[in-house]
């Protein structure tokens, strides 16, 4: 079995090109995985997204270069959590413990990390011709609506 965090690796997530590179690297690894391993990867991704679904992180404002600030939408927060996961297990763990540093994942360029949500299911469908079905204790609704807040 391939370890989720080994597949994720780590990225500094400082701009859109680093996110694109991380997604490409992960995609290449997923391409070599069997369908059951792809399902396990998707399950672990759901779990990681669910666990970092914290109110304090959802309340970090989006800051634009012009000094404007606005609240994250539920989609923006989901993609920011994806960017945090792309940063790797160490950074993810630090954010989970302290909440400090999440603002870099709220930056508009980090929305590119949305692609992480689709990599395993697209590869699964390419290999099997069927849609991936993931059974998990971690709700897809909480991944996009920030309802599972664990303050």
Residue 150 belongs to some domain of the structure: no
Helices and strands (DSSP H and E) totals, the chain:
9, 2
Instruction: Give yes or no for residue 87 having a pLDDT over 80.
Output: yes
Please report the pLDDT score of residue 65 as a whole number.
Answer: 81
Q: Among 64, 61, 89, 83, which residue's Cα sits nearest to residue 3?
A: 89
Return the structure tokens found at 65. 């270069």
Please report the pLDDT score of residue 67 as a whole number.
Answer: 84
Please report the pLDDT score of residue 26 as a whole number.
Answer: 97
Name the pTM for this structure: 0.88
Return the structure tokens found at 126. 């390419």
What percent of the chain stands above pLDDT 70? 88
What 8-state DSSP symbol labels residue 27?
H
Give the phi and the psi of residue 122 in degrees, each rounded to 5.
-65, -40
CA atoms of 52 and 82, how far apart (whole Å):
10
What confidence tens digit (pLDDT) does each residue in 92-138 have? Answer: 999 999 989 999 999 999 999 999 999 999 999 999 999 998 776 65
What percent of the chain stands above pLDDT 90? 81
Give the phi and the psi of residue 65 in degrees, each rounded to 5.
-60, -30
- CA 127 to chain CA mean position, Å: 23
CA atoms of 39 and 35, how far apart (whole Å):
6
33 and 2 in contact (C-beta within 8 Å)?
yes
Could you give the angle at the alpha carbon of 136 between the alpha carbons of 110 and 124, nearest 5°? Answer: 65
What confidence tens digit (pLDDT) does each residue in 59-76 have? Answer: 999 998 888 999 999 999
The whole domain housing 43 covers 13-138
Number of domains in the chain: 1
Please report the pLDDT score of residue 139 as a whole number.
Answer: 53
Return the structure tokens found at 23. 């997604």
Mean pLDDT of the chain: 89
Please report the pLDDT score of residue 151 as a whole number.
Answer: 45
Burial-class residue 100 by CB neighbours within 10 Å (0-12, 13-18, 19+): exposed
Q: Among 58, 41, 84, which residue's Cα sits nearest to residue 148?
A: 58
Residue 1 belongs to some domain of the structure: no
Q: What average pLDDT does this structure show over 77-86?
A: 97
Predicted confidence band of residue 141 (pLDDT cuts 50, 70, 90):
very low
């Amino acid at each position: 079995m391939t370890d989720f965090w080994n597949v994720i690796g780590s990225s500094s997530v400082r701009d859109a090109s680093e996110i694109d590179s991380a997604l490409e690297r992960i995609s290449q690894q997923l391409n070599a995985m069997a369908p059951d391993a792809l399902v396990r990867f998707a399950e672990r991704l759901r779990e990681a997204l669910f666990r970092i679904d914290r109110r304090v992180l959802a309340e970090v404002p989006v800051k634009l270069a012009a000094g404007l600030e606005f609240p994250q939408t539920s989609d923006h927060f989901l993609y920011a959590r994806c960017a945090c996961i792309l940063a790797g297990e160490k950074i993810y763990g630090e954010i989970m413990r302290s909440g400090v540093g999440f603002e870099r994942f709220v930056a508009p360029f980090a929305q590119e990390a949305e692609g992480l949500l689709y990599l395993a299911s697209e590869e699964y469908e390419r290999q099997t011709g069927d849609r991936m079905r993931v059974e998990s204790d971690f709700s897809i609704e909480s991944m996009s609506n920030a309802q599972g807040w664990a303050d």
